[in-house]
Every structure is written in C-alpha cells, then in structure tokens.
Amino acid sequence: MNKKNIEKIATERIEILIENALLQIKDNEKLSQSYANLASKIAMRVRIRMPYFTRQLFCKKCKQFIVPGVNSRVRIGRTRVKSIRITCMKCKHVYRKIIVN
Ligand SMILES: [Zn+2]
C-alpha cells in the first residue's frame, strides 16, 4: 500500500472513532475516552494531523477527549478582543481562543 492509501484509511478510521466517541460521551465516558485515544494514536502512528474540528475536542493539557457541555465549558470572553475560553473539566485547564472575523 502506498502512503496516500494509508492516510486515507487512517483518516476514515479516525472519523469513525471520533463519531463513536461523541455518541458515547454521555452514556459511557470510559468507552468514549478509549475511542478518542485510539483515534489520536492512529493519527500519531500514521503521522497525520487530525481534522481541525477533531483537534478542538482534545484538551491541550491533559489530552483527554472533552466535549463542550459534557466535560468542558465554553465561555465567550468579555474583553474587546473577541475570544472564547474553554475550560477542561478534567484538569481545570483554561485556554483561550481568539476569534477573528
Ligand atoms: Zn484537560
């Protein structure tokens, strides 16, 4: 198999795993975390970047799978620069994203 094929299959698997992780997060968080971990392991092994929306679902600090409204909190910043604050409920790490529009 060539590299392109491997990347394509890996990306598909990652998408399926993240989808399952999102479906399970409320009912079975442990299972959800293991799907998400598997997805990031695949990405690392194949050395591809996860899709943008997928990367948002991992805490920058503890690397756990965090979903807004479930185990992370998203707040709009009140400063003049528009930003959102994401709090990971796992490790309490807060990180900021600046919204440019
Ligand atoms: Zn965290």
Each residue's pLDDT tens digit, 15-74: 999 999 999 999 999 999 999 999 999 999 999 998 888 888 999 999 999 999 999 999
Q: What is the Å distance from ligand 1's center to 36 Cα?
A: 14
| Residue labelled with tokens 């399926």 | 16
Q: What is the Å distance from ligand 1's center to 1 Cα?
A: 37
Q: What angle, rounded to 10 degrees, do the helices at 3-24 and 29-46 form?
A: 170
Q: What is the Å distance from ligand 1's center to 71 Cα?
A: 9
Q: What is the Å distance from ligand 1's center to 97 Cα?
A: 15
**E-state strands within the chain:** 72-76, 83-88, 94-98
pTM of the entire predicted model = 0.85
- According to DSSP, the residues that pair with 96 across neighbouring strands are 85
Q: What is the Å distance from ligand 1's center to 2 Cα?
A: 36
| pLDDT of 1 over the 80 cut | no
The answer to whether the beta carbons of residues 7 and 45 sit under 8 Å apart is: no
Largest CA distance in the chain: 51
| pLDDT of 96 over the 70 cut | yes
Q: What is the Å distance from ligand 1's center to 41 Cα?
A: 18
| pLDDT of 101 over the 70 cut | no
Q: What is the Å distance from ligand 1's center to 93 Cα?
A: 5
